[in-house]
Amino acid sequence: MLPPPPPLRRLLPALALVFFAAPALAQPAALTPSASQLTPERLWAIQRVGGAAVSPDGRTVTYGLSTPDVAANRSSSAVWQVPTAGGAPALVGAGSEAVWLASGALLYSSADGGRRTTDGRTITGLPPDAETVEIAPTGDYVAYTRRVRLDPAPTERYPDLPQTTVRIHDDLMLRHWTQWADGTYSHLFVAPFDLATMTAGEGVDVMPGRRVHTPVPPFGGAEQIAWHPDGRRIAYTAKEADGTAFATSTNTDVFLYDVRTRATRNLTEGMPGYDVEPAFSPDGRMLAWNSMARDGFEADRNRLFVMSLESGVARELSAGFDRNASHPVWLPAGDALLFTTETGGTVQLYTVALRGGAPRAVTSGDHNITEVAVGGPAGAPVVVVGRQSMTAPTDLYRVDLATGAMTPLTTHGAEGLAGLAMPTTHRRTVRTSDGQEMLVWEVRPPNFDPSRRYPAILYMQGGPQSALTQFFSYRWNLAALASQGYVVVAPNRRGMPGHGAAWNDQISQDWGGQAMTDLLSAIDAVAAEPYVDRERLAAVGASFGGYSAFWLAGHHEGRFKTLVAHAGIFHLESMYASTEELFFVDWDLGGPYWGTPRPASYDRFSPHRYVTNWTAPMLITHGDLDFRVPLEQSLQAYTALRLRGLEGRLVTFPNEGHWINRPQNSLAWHREFYGWLREHLQTAHTPPIRPGVAE
């Protein structure tokens, strides 16, 4: 339920704050950056590294560097490069999306919206709305995506009403993530290309008349499109489904288009789940991709498949591997692939041979591998990864495939934390109520003193099948939270990948069951420590973590002084009827609430049924443009909270979706969040419950 965040856009801030109707609290002041404390303001000063690409000769890696500008309420992007043998990074130019051409030239999207090489040549002939531009390895074709209108606009239906803003929908998928359907579709185009003059000819729609998208929304990107090394074929990912099936199915396929014959072949026909991220072997004989087995289960095990293009025979390279095998990348010799997987509360780099055999871990340690880039000759591959942890933003490292040793290439993230006293992360194992061993991350404040008693925060991850690993977030940053003086408790409860398929799958149709018990087991274990003040506990989370806050509000039995829910699910029946990707609620709740038999989830696990047990103050936040968990979920919860006579606050953001991404909105959210916790945990507090209020 929580894909990667969308890019920041240059938009004016729009923040709405609705405060509870009780005596006003003093408004929280800005958390002033200091030389020793990680604050939200300091987070928004860190430059962000990503988009690594290794040159064909393996000598250079380029990457994107995003620099936030809070005053301007936007971020700027630039392309940098650094020798893979080590050395000083150098600026290439303002822009993004750098890719290496087979010739060794570097192509990137410049700040003015054009595509140019480092020698100053600019692509001409592309439509002004072209996106995801990919030049064929042979240099004689270019592919790009653009929006194509296939359904009439309201003003085309009614030309005498040119100013109407009416929306008319015949399909079920009428809105997605933060966008309403507008009758246009993202299609793939292929055009002849002159590499010498950097000129594109007239493009041909690879998907004419098909009401499908590539990349697949809401967050598909260039990883869903791949040129064959011969430059005559191109693979792409699409969901061949109408609006109803698009909402109820995850059946996404990999298609192969022949530039010369204009014929399209579905390579994954009969494979019912997600099939994404096609990657051709260096010799062009094989295609690798990620595949999920079960239609409708968005968090199924990600398998690694390869297919012989000559025979059409496909086989799973990750068979028997009880983890995800995500984001496949070929090694230059074509005899093995790299992939990443969640394991033991971390994300690591693995390799598997094309001939088969068990995958082998390349890296280890308490960190996350965030991306993988490969280049260099077949006999001496160069592998560069992004690496982060809960206490370190992403930087790039070169990896030795034989030993797993990592050599730093950039220090942009590390420089953002210079001079700070940082929290420390600790692994601990907690016995769950059903006798299982559960990994719990404990993040302790800087300069931790075990003789003191600290307030503690239970952090509840979203998803619900979303890994709680060594992530460094710019929204829910556990190091920044611990830096405010809290012990942060982050359990790998049931439903999280990285601990086997059975652990991951258990949460479906059991939202309020074992997973919630796991959360309480974690906070109880840490609260028993002498350095935790069990009279000052809070529970916080977003998305499914927000659901967890609403659920525990009725079941925590006095443990928490306050709770915080962002974009949480409060009423399961209305969630089913108003969310957009129905396959998610079909799988995890058991189907529609009117089903026969009626799924038990709606009666057992809907938080709204336990409002009469609510006793603690609550902060509720939400983005108005959140179509995954619609705003009305938080509105209902806030209404119930206030009519219960409980202290509460609702904070909404008119121009944000499931996440609060814009710099000034993010800082406003953080100040409300930290201010609320400071008010309710750092000082003694008794929630005002007025007698006689309607139950």
Q: Which sequence positions are flagged as catalytic?
A: 543, 626, 658
91 CB burial (10 A radius; 0-12, 13-18, 19+): exposed
Cα dihedral angle (186, 109, 328, 378), rounded to 10 degrees? 140
Q: For residue 539, give the nearest of 474, 491, 500, 592 by alpha carbon.
A: 491
Question: How many whole angstroms separate alpha carbon 496 and alpha carbon 347?
Answer: 13
* Residue 34 host element (H or E): none
Task: Dig out the tokens for 145 from the structure.
Answer: 């995506």
Beginning with the edge strand found earlier in the chain, give each strand of the sheet holding 264-266 in spatial order: 225-227, 233-238, 253-258, 264-266
Dihedral angle, C-alpha 48, 51, 53, 59, nearest 10 °: 0
For residue 213, give Cα distances in angstroms to 238, 239, 240, 268, 270. 6, 7, 8, 17, 20
**Three-state DSSP class for 638?**
helix
The pairing of strands 326-330 and 336-343 is antiparallel
Q: Which of 524, 562, 568, 523 is nearest to 545 (CA)?
A: 568
Do the beta carbons of residue 492 and residue 439 sit within 8 Å?
Answer: yes
Strands (DSSP E) along 492-625, which ranges?
532-542, 562-566, 618-623
How far is the C-alpha of 609 from the C-alpha of 623, rounded, in Å?
A: 24
Beta bridge partners of 339: 350
CA angle 185, 216, 12 (to 5 degrees): 75
**CA-CA distance, 91 to 577, in Å (whole number)?**
49
Sign of CA dihedral 490, 541, 290, 514: positive
Task: Please give the structure tokens belonging to residue 449.
Answer: 């003193």
Question: Distance (Å, rounded) from C-alpha 509 to C-alpha 376?
Answer: 47
The bridge status of strand 562-566 relative to strand 618-623 is parallel
Residue that is written with structure tokens 């923040």 in the block: 15
